[in-house]
């Protein structure tokens, strides 16, 4: 074969290899070509990806927790907490006022808010205190004086000062904030209470006054 034909053939082979990617060195029959399946390539690339592996570990942890945790701790799937419905997430429920730190006399918890009473008779409110678009628990009555007791209900607060006077604010749709007239002259109140749509007080002589949604407790 002439030199020109050999050169032409070599150029033809190089062109084919360039076009179709056949540029690998031809192995002898004594050498073994290592072939790797597409799946193995995918797995190898996935394992080498740190972000993908971290995501996989987190997913497996969550998946196994969902399967294993109910076996350890029984979960009541029928349980519902209506007071937390449509409540936006936030960190303000844990933000106790600085003026109350180390000076706490009482703390009472509502549905999405907390009420604290200092040793100085001052009332503090924190958390998600906005009950409706117009009702905010932080809007407390003025001139309450020296408050000695507080009681938070689901959406209202009841307070009593050192003179035995009662103050209530918040949602009063069921008249839970409307203090009865026959109670305004009572001065021997021992303890005050607030609940879901209702309020109550107990006097020193054991009398109980209950108002608001009286049907919810079947109180007579």
Q: Model confidence over 48-66: pLDDT tens digits?
A: 888 989 999 999 999 998 8
pLDDT score for 141: 95
Read off the pLDDT band of 72 (50, 70, 90): confident
User: 55: helix, coil or strand?
Assistant: helix
Helical H segments across the chain, by residue range:
3-20, 38-48, 50-72
Contact between residue 137 and residue 113 where contact means Cβ atoms under 8 Å apart: yes
User: 213: helix, coil or strand?
Assistant: coil
Q: Which of 207, 161, 155 is nearest to 177 (CA)?
A: 155
Which tokens is 15 given?
Answer: 């062109």
CA–centroid distance for 152 within its chain:
21
pLDDT tens-digit readout, 121-134: 999 999 999 988 89
% of the chain residues with pLDDT over 90: 53
Read off the pLDDT band of 26 (50, 70, 90): low
User: The sheet that has 166-170: what strands, in order across it?
Assistant: 147-152, 156-161, 166-170
Determine if the pTM surpasses 0.75: no
């Amino acid at each position: 074969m002439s030199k020109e034909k050999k050169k032409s053939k070599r150029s033809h082979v190089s062109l084919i290899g360039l076009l179709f990617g056949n540029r690998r060195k031809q192995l002898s029959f004594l050498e073994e070509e290592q072939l790797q399946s597409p799946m193995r390539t995918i797995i190898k690339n996935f394992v080498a990806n740190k972000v993908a592996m971290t995501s996989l570990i987190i997913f497996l942890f969550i998946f196994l927790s969902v399967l294993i945790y109910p076996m350890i701790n029984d979960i009541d799937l029928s349980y519902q907490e209506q007071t937390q419905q449509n409540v936006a997430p936030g960190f303000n429920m844990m933000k106790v006022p600085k003026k109350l730190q180390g000076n706490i006399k009482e703390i009472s918890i509502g549905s999405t808010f907390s009420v604290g009473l200092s040793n100085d008779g001052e009332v503090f409110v924190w958390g998600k205190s906005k009950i409706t678009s117009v009702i905010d628990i932080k809007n407390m009555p003025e001139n309450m004086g020296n408050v000695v007791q507080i009681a938070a209900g689901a959406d209202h607060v009841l307070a009593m000062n050192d003179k035995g006077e009662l103050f209530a604010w918040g949602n009063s749709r069921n008249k839970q904030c409307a203090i009865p007239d026959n109670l305004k002259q009572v001065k021997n109140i021992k303890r005050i209470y607030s609940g879901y749509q209702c309020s109550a007080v107990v006097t020193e002589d054991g009398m109980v006054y209950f108002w608001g949604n009286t049907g919810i407790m079947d109180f007579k």
